[in-house]
Amino acid sequence: MRAWVLVEPGPLAGQPLRSAERPMPEPGPGEVRVRVEVCGLCHTDLHTVEGELELPRLPVTPGHQVVGRVDAVGPGVPTGGSLARGTRVGVPWLYEACGRCDACRRGEENLCPSARFTGLHVDGGCAEYLVAPADFVVPIPDGFTPEEAAPLLCAGIIGYRSLRVAGLVPGERLGLYGFGASAHLALQVARHWECPVYVFSRSEEHRALARELGAVWAGPASERPPAVLDRSVLFAPVGDLIPQALAHLRPGGTLAVNAVHLDRIPAFPYSLLYGERTLRSVANATRRDAFEFLELAARIPIRPHVRVYPFEAAPAALDDLKAARIQGAGVLRVSPP
């Protein structure tokens, strides 16, 4: 099968991703094999390829917003129902968790110390086939094309979790810092909850999309919004934005940092945190997040803005992602539906 393989991480200019022929994976006990139709592109893929994340294994095939069809099942997996051959499913970032540790028993499988993640610990969706635990694949709601569904599986799920971690309730004023794949989906959830949304982005094209999707204000991070914010989410992996975001929060407000990799956290005056403001990180997501968000996405309905790339263009697509040339989300077309 065709696959993109990372053998040694490094800058995109050095072409660390290599096209290769790999053996067809076989599903083991409790696993399904998925014929991949599309795979969404995420900043986490970029951090993986360029070596900004610690890599537990090499070589590895990246990609963790996978939409495809069940192609085969391993021993112990029912052959009908939601996992019948040909059924459309998604494979998200959380590949599996142990289910036994304290975190899992608390319902926080996203914090499981034994968790494994798609495209990091195991081969991901930048390939024609992959295998995944049957208990961790998720159904794709009707009404979404494969290309529309792909960014829901990480950008959407983690954006939804970020709103929950920030404590957003209907009607509160929300700030979004960085306006890529995740933020443009989170904005649609917040607008459904009748929350005024204020978007901070260095790109005028991204600010225009934010206004089109219902943001009441959009400007660069250096500008002060016209209202004090109740909650904010930082999507850009830029630590220097944290003091600016805190400065725009009301006392008692929360800033949630949604970044698997952050360049640094600068020193800042305690006065920015004082007043019972809260600074929280967002780490991965749970299956509950996935099920809740996908049901909500279908009900709203959310409409992802996507730019589709052919399979052969994966390196160029990641370069566009790095340079913020993608409006909304980038999606790799792996095989026809």
- In the chain, what are the domain boundaries? 2-154+285-333, 156-281
Asked if residue 138 lies in contact with residue 89, where contact means CB atoms within 8 angstroms, the answer is: yes
CATH superfamily of 2-154+285-333: Medium-chain alcohol dehydrogenases, catalytic domain (3.90.180.10)
Q: Which residue type occupies 214?
A: G
The span from the CA of 44 to the CA of 41, in Å, is: 8
Instruction: Name the average pLDDT for the chain.
Output: 96
Across 46-56, average pLDDT: 94
The span from the CA of 146 to the CA of 335, in Å, is: 11
Q: For the whole model, what pTM was predicted?
A: 0.95
pLDDT score for 140? 96
pLDDT score for 81? 82
Q: pLDDT digits over 277-330, tens only?
A: 999 999 999 999 999 999 999 999 999 999 999 999 999 999 999 999 999 999
pLDDT score for 15? 94
pLDDT score for 261? 87
Give helix then strand counts, H and E, for the chain.
9, 17
pLDDT score for 82? 83
pLDDT score for 4? 98
Answer left, alpha or beta for residue 328, where phi above 0 means left and psi between -120 and 50 means alpha.
Answer: left
pLDDT score for 114? 97
pLDDT score for 257? 98
pLDDT score for 336? 80
CA distances from 77 to 36, 92, 117, 129, 290 (A): 19, 19, 21, 18, 21
Q: Which residue has the tokens 């993986």?
A: 48
Q: pLDDT digits over 278-293, tens only?
A: 999 999 999 999 999 9
pLDDT score for 94? 98
Angle between helices 181-192 and 204-212 (to 10 degrees): 30
For CA atoms 154, 322, 143, 233, give the dihedral sign: positive
Q: In this model, does residue 80 exceed pLDDT 90?
A: no
What class has domain 156-281?
alpha beta
Q: How confident is the model at residue 51 (pLDDT cuts 50, 70, 90)?
A: very high
